[in-house]
Structure 1
Amino acid sequence: MDVSLDLSGRHALVVGTARAARRIVARYRAGGAVVVLVSAGDACARLGRVAAGTDATPPALVVWVDGRQALREVLAEHASRLRIWFVTEQGAPELPRGQVTLVGGGPGDTDLMTVAGRRALAEADVVLFDRLAPQELMAQWAPGAEFIDVGKTPGHHAVPQGEIESLMVDHALRGNRVVRLKGGDPFVFGRGGEEVLACRRAGVPVTVVPGVTSAISVPAAAGIPVTHRDVSRAFTVISGHTPFTEEELAHLVGLGGTIVVLMGVNTLPHLAAGLQRHGMATDMPLAIIERGYSIAQRTTVTSVGGVTPLLATVAPRSPAVIVIGEVVRVAAWDDGRNAESHDLVRTIADLAP
């Protein structure tokens, strides 16, 4: 697009097929133009009406994407005679077989989307996105792409995993570039491994763009390091969507270090009781960070022994990350008081300098 031409509210003819011109149409519409996608023959007819003075809204611009070269020359000549701008742009190539890219979108903050993830979205024809994926700028990042919401909420999978995999494969086999956009990292409790296998079984090329995992970034947003010198030299990331076995609880206590729990709000009472049953001190600090990186971020600091009575009052909800360990005491915003002596709820406003 020639940035010297103000297209706000003005008509632009884009000449080509819907597939080839998809991103170009989206870009001009984003610039404020009234875009009409036409064939080369229809474009010639439209300029004929402009020349005859019978077109009430003559275009300010003609954008050639694809079609017969002879018609391109005719259109360019007509546009020049009518003093209408004429430009040529490269359309999306036709692919015999598409591809799938799994993109980790990070914890939800658009600034934490990787450069590689943005690049994959810019080239996407179809985007299948999750509930926790960064959605605010999707239309800008993937102009003109088809967006398919396959998001899941706790206990409710509107689109079953098998159907998500079928959608990815089917769109790719039609020659589309498919992006599977997820929150966090695709391979950290994101079922990315299953989706990669589904693509490989179907013979569809697949790549993975890692994302910033909430297991580390969300505690960091609350000022909590998952490791800290002389405090914790290891951290364990676990999924809490189902209750833990006694063997798992015993291993978690025995490992020491920091425990980071994803998807664990509903099983937190069971976890807290089980950890104490296997020898964890009741005053071990515990933090719940809800809605990390959003304006509604809230951090609740308590202890393993004190969390269960507190839940009825605080009523934490997903998405939330739970951190258990001495690192909670060294949070950047801690005022020096021990977790066992108080229950502290902080919002993101409280954490501001």
Structure 2
Amino acid sequence: MNAHHEQYLVGLDLAGRRAVVVGGGQVAQRRVARLIAAGAVVEVVSPEVTPAVEGMASAGEITWTARRWTDGDLAGAWYAIAATDEAATNAAVVAEAERDRVFCVRADDGDKGTAVTPATGGYDGLTVGVLARGAHRRSAAVRTALVEALAAGVVDESAEPPQAGVALVGGGPGDPELITVRGRRLLSRAEVVVADRLGPRDILDELSPEVEVIDASKIPYGRAMAQERINELLISHARAGKFVVRLKGGDPFVYGRGFEEVQACAAAGVPVTVVPGITSAFAAPAVAGTPVSHRGVAHEIVVVSGHVAPGDPRSLTDWTALGRMTGTIVLMMAVERLGKFAEALISHGRPADTPVLIVQDGTTRIERSVRATLETAEQVAAEQEISPPAIVVIGPVAGLQAPVGG
């Protein structure tokens, strides 16, 4: 192939068509996964393959011929990839492909094949492909930037207006980069956004000016009435033909009353999509350098809502059982009643010197964490002026800490 000629970018329909990959290493593994996704009938020819490729063969997704390539292996192929670690073998595969008029990518030296693999990325049914005449880092950088621009709504690719309905999106623990790709994509298409105080606020600045943003935390009613009012807003805007994103902090189904909103939409006949999010219960300790589970330290993790105290008739938590267990307890919304929770755990068997980690505003710019024990947690939190939102981790893992970078 003459590298000075412009390459012709094309999308191949390989569904049900034979594709042969010669080689079974990491490069082959990546290509095979894409070919399977394209519906190709894939044969891998290689004496050895990576465990992942072997797994694909065991699952019947591909055929693995466990030997070296021999001339004739490309018979009936529509597409071929030469991805061995031997230049001579790759050259021979390309020569057979040339003879049989099969387009063939040569992974070790793109210019010597008859096709090249573009840097590709997917976004909402689009496939973005970039060729840069063999400058792989450049094509990969441009591909990534394009996909991120689409996901952030910087490039408006929506030829059709979004369908009316509601998307319940978990915004993650606070850092705007910790929302899911799908959540960010749906947010970029929103016409109305109903946002929580604890959602990733910085993301709202990226929305176009015509998007109506409703701050759910400013709805003037008691807590239960505010929830009803939020439900009504979601339904009324969706019925008016709008695509509404309900942006919640963390994960909508982890103490976020998200299922109440799903039930309300379903009862009103409004289509609703749920997009899970990263919960601060696990993310806040992680960014503070502490795992909620660790081999040989904790085999269980219990996430507990701290909005009612132990002994309160409304409490659904078995504090006796929590006191007996040895694993990790993560308390959410617990700063106000921290002393009561510590007392209950100690009285039911947890050692008073059990490590405690408190992370306030986890993953945000103002994140800070303090360490204590069950015995000292209430006093330390008061001295350090810890205020919500904060995550409290109790158990042996809270004594573990490693320096981690954001």
State the TM bucket, normalised to the shorter chain.
0.5 to 0.7
RCO (CA 8 Å, sep 6+): is it higher in 1 or 2?
Answer: 1
**CA–CA separation in structure 1 for the residues paired with 2:388 and 2:276:** 23
Aligned to 1:136: 202
**1:148 and 2:218 aligned:** no
Aligned to 1:265: 335
CA RMSD of aligned residues (A): 2.7
Taking the TM superposition and a 5 Å limit, the aligned residue runs for 1:3-42 are none
Amino acid at match of 1:310: V
The equivalent position to 2:247 in structure 1, one of 176, 181, 188, is: 181
Aligned to 2:358: 288
Say if 2:323 and 2:344, in contact at 8 Å, map to a contact too: no
1:242 is displaced (CA, Å) by 1.0
Say if 1:288 and 1:320, in contact at 8 Å, map to a contact too: yes
Aligned to 2:262: 196
Q: Show structure 1 runs of 5+ residues with no match.
A: 1-26, 32-88, 334-350
**CA–CA separation in structure 1 for the residues paired with 2:353 and 2:162:** 62
The equivalent position to 1:230 in structure 2, one of 281, 285, 296, is: 296
Amino acid at match of 2:355: P
Amino acid at match of 2:318: E
Seen in structure 2, the aligned counterparts of structure 1 residues 174 and 230 have a Cα distance that, compared at 3 Å, is same
Residue 346 of structure 2 aligns to a residue whose secondary structure is helix
Seen in structure 2, the aligned counterparts of structure 1 residues 189 and 101 have a Cα distance that, compared at 3 Å, is same
Deviations 1:277-332 (A, max 9, x none): 11110000001100111222111100001112323311210000000010011221
Aligned to 1:253: 323
Deviations 1:16-58 (A, max 9, x none): xxxxxxxxxxx9xx99xxxxxxxxxxxxxxxxxxxxxxxxxxx
Seen in structure 2, the aligned counterparts of structure 1 residues 198 and 158 have a Cα distance that, compared at 3 Å, is closer
Seen in structure 2, the aligned counterparts of structure 1 residues 290 and 90 have a Cα distance that, compared at 3 Å, is closer
Q: Which runs of 4+ in 1 moved over 6 A?
A: none
Amino acid at match of 1:312: A
Say if 1:104 and 1:212, in contact at 8 Å, map to a contact too: yes
Aligned residue pairs, count? 248
Amino acid at match of 1:225: P
**CA–CA separation in structure 2 for the residues paired with 1:255 and 1:174:** 51
Deviations 1:110-138 (A, max 9, x none): 11111100111121110000001112132
Taking the TM superposition and a 5 Å limit, the aligned residue runs for 1:92-131 are 93=161, 98-131=164-197
Residue 181 of structure 1 aligns to a residue whose secondary structure is strand
**CA–CA separation in structure 2 for the residues paired with 1:194 and 1:159:** 13
Aligned to 2:376: 306
Aligned to 2:394: 324
Deviations 1:249-274 (A, max 9, x none): 11112232100011100110100111
**1:276 and 2:346 aligned:** yes
Residue 102 of structure 1 aligns to a residue whose secondary structure is strand
Residue 160 of structure 1 aligns to a residue whose secondary structure is helix
**CA–CA separation in structure 2 for the residues paired with 1:293 and 1:179:** 23
Amino acid at match of 1:274: A
Q: Identity of aligned pairs, percent?
A: 43
Per the normalisation by structure 1, the TM-score is 0.65
Taking the TM superposition and a 5 Å limit, the aligned residue runs for 1:47-126 are 93=161, 98-126=164-192
**CA–CA separation in structure 2 for the residues paired with 1:142 and 1:156:** 31
**1:219 and 2:285 aligned:** yes
Residue 100 of structure 1 aligns to a residue whose secondary structure is strand
Residue 137 of structure 1 aligns to a residue whose secondary structure is helix
Deviations 1:145-181 (A, max 9, x none): 110000279x974970000000000000111101000
**CA–CA separation in structure 2 for the residues paired with 1:130 and 1:300:** 26
Aligned to 2:305: 239
Residue 296 of structure 1 aligns to a residue whose secondary structure is coil
Amino acid at match of 2:334: G
Aligned to 1:336: none
Say if 1:151 and 1:158, in contact at 8 Å, map to a contact too: no
**CA–CA separation in structure 2 for the residues paired with 1:93 and 1:229:** 49
Say if 2:288 and 2:359, in contact at 8 Å, map to a contact too: yes
1:141 is displaced (CA, Å) by 4.3
Amino acid at match of 2:348: H
Seen in structure 2, the aligned counterparts of structure 1 residues 156 and 272 have a Cα distance that, compared at 3 Å, is farther
Seen in structure 2, the aligned counterparts of structure 1 residues 172 and 223 have a Cα distance that, compared at 3 Å, is same
Say if 1:285 and 1:329, in contact at 8 Å, map to a contact too: yes
Amino acid at match of 1:177: F
1:244 is displaced (CA, Å) by 2.2
Residue 140 of structure 1 aligns to a residue whose secondary structure is coil
Q: Show structure 2 runs of 5+ residues with no match.
A: 1-152
Amino acid at match of 2:349: G
Deviations 1:213-251 (A, max 9, x none): 101100101111000000001100011011123972111
The equivalent position to 2:227 in structure 1, one of 158, 161, 177, is: 161
Amino acid at match of 1:204: V
Seen in structure 2, the aligned counterparts of structure 1 residues 142 and 205 have a Cα distance that, compared at 3 Å, is farther
